[in-house]
Amino acid sequence: MDTQELSSGRYAREVLLLGIGNILWADEGFGPRAAEAFNALYRLPEGAEIMDGGTLGGWLVNEICSTRRILVFDCCDLKAAPGTLRVLRKDDIRIWSSTKISPHQTGFNDLLATAALMGSSPEDIAVVGIQPELLDDYGGSLTETLKARIPDALEAARGILTEWGFAPQLRAPGEAVPPLSFQSLSIDAYESGRPDAREACRTGDERFLVRAAGHESMPEEV
């Protein structure tokens, strides 16, 4: 969607379905992966759009300000068992906005505050949130625990969109699906292209770690 010239109380888009998070850190990528799966399964009616918001940024402020209702896929700290899925609305939104699993959430809160200052806050926000299991696996994909909940997340989102009057339609078999991001970042390509742990360290590349002379891993360095 092109950047819109905004004025107070006017919306260029009725509904935005937004997946946010960082796919490089395992379950932190739940939002974009849920959006990707929803896009593959459903076609949205006119007036509604779906977007991979990734790790966000100031460039999304116009998207927020120009949308009447926003539905977000995200992982958040629900203080519950991994894989717990909840729909947060109205007062429950503070559970999501007040917990900081990663920097992208702070960014989204800043965008909402900016929208309020501009007099263009969304009329309604809903969050399909999930408790992550693993966040510190660099380059890792979703855990099986969270993958198993994606169908439930899509069904929850479908229900909210239908309530808002924008019921999604199942795509026809073989229908071409416009990607939300680069094809190389789709979950299938991402998982199949990840090098094993011997080629890409999961917690930091030892070639770039400072070690004292004579470290036991390379005693010849004296």
Residue numbering of the annotated binding site for Ni(2+): 28, 74, 104
Closest to 153 in 3D by CA, of 23, 68, 30:
30
Residues that constitute the known binding site: 28, 74, 104
Q: Which two tokens stand for residue 106?
A: 């702070």
The residue behind tokens 């026809």 is 172
For 47-143, where are the alpha helices, taking DSSP H only?
61-65, 93-97, 103-117
Main-chain dihedrals φ then ψ at residue 111, nearest 5 degrees: -65, -40
Classify residue 98 by its DSSP letter: T
d(CA 110, CA 130): 21
Helix (H) or strand (E) holding 85, with range, is strand 85-89
Burial track 38-60 (b if 16+ CB lie within 10 A, e otherwise): bbebbebeeebebbbbbbbeeeb
- Given a contact cutoff of 8 angstroms between Cβ atoms, the answer to whether 18 and 73 are in contact is yes
Q: Which two tokens stand for residue 54?
A: 């990734």
The residue behind tokens 């800043």 is 110
Main-chain dihedrals φ then ψ at residue 158, nearest 5 degrees: -60, -40
